[in-house]
Amino acid sequence: MTLNAIDILRSNSLPTLLEQEIERVILGGEFAPGDHVNEKELALRFGISRGPVREALRSLDSSGLVEQVPNRGFFVRRLTAAQARDIYDVRAVLFGLAGKLLAERITDEGVDQLRAFIAEMDTAVAANDFEAYVKINFVFHEFIVVSAGNPTLAQQYMTLVKQLRLYRARNLMLGDSMHASHQEHHAMVDAVAARDPARASLAHARHVEAAKERLMSTAPNLK
């Protein structure tokens, strides 16, 4: 961590910024599901006391990224197959609603931005550039839920996505799955651009349902 980053931590809400930084580390793959998150090591890493680290980890526990085990500490959450399926099912409903709301209120500028995301992902798919595709994919989905105009929906949806990211980044879009996923993106944007709420809702919900099936078929440990 850079000195500038540490200065920022010291001058703002420490537990909140620590939570964001630890979340970034976890979602970046430094910790795998089931790994112990050592409070003392994190405190030394950030040059602070253990109290703010513990508070940040408790917040991450509430969001479902880590779990606290009595007398043992905090561990990166390991989802069971049933939990992963349940999260995808709820996410499908929320994303379907996001698609509906977006189709009802999208502006011409919003449609242009969606088309720009699609064009970027077209390029990544053509080049079989998985890393570039994943980065744009996350931004694309976040843009949809934020632009839907329902902050509660967006907050709940992004919490679910964070819980699944450790698995999705490793198991989804292998082989032809990236191409299939992107075809669904085209259908979603076409429906929103047509200002068709029912069609957009269906396309967005189906996209998440298909993602669930791809995850289950490429991740034997989650079956």
Q: What is the pTM of this model?
A: 0.80
Mean pLDDT of 210-219: 80
Last residue of one domain, picked from the residues 22, 43, 76: 76
* pLDDT per residue as tens digits for the range 147-192: 999 999 999 999 999 888 766 544 444 556 889 999 999 999 999 9
Q: How far apart are CA 9 and CA 2, in angstroms?
A: 11
191 and 161 part of one domain: yes
Side-chain-facing half-sphere of 82: CA atoms under 13 Å: 0
31 and 114 part of one domain: no
Check residue 196 and give its pLDDT.
Answer: 98
Last residue of one domain, picked from the residues 76, 103, 128: 76
174 and 217 part of one domain: yes
Q: pLDDT category, 218, cuts 50, 70, 90?
A: low
Q: CATH number, domain at 36?
A: 1.10.10.10
Which alpha helices (DSSP H) does the chain contain, by range?
Answer: 3-11, 14-27, 39-46, 50-63, 81-105, 108-126, 130-147, 151-171, 177-193, 197-218
Other C-beta atoms closer than 10 Å to the C-beta of 153 total 17
* pLDDT per residue as tens digits for the range 5-56: 555 545 457 778 888 899 888 887 888 888 999 999 999 998 888 888 999 9
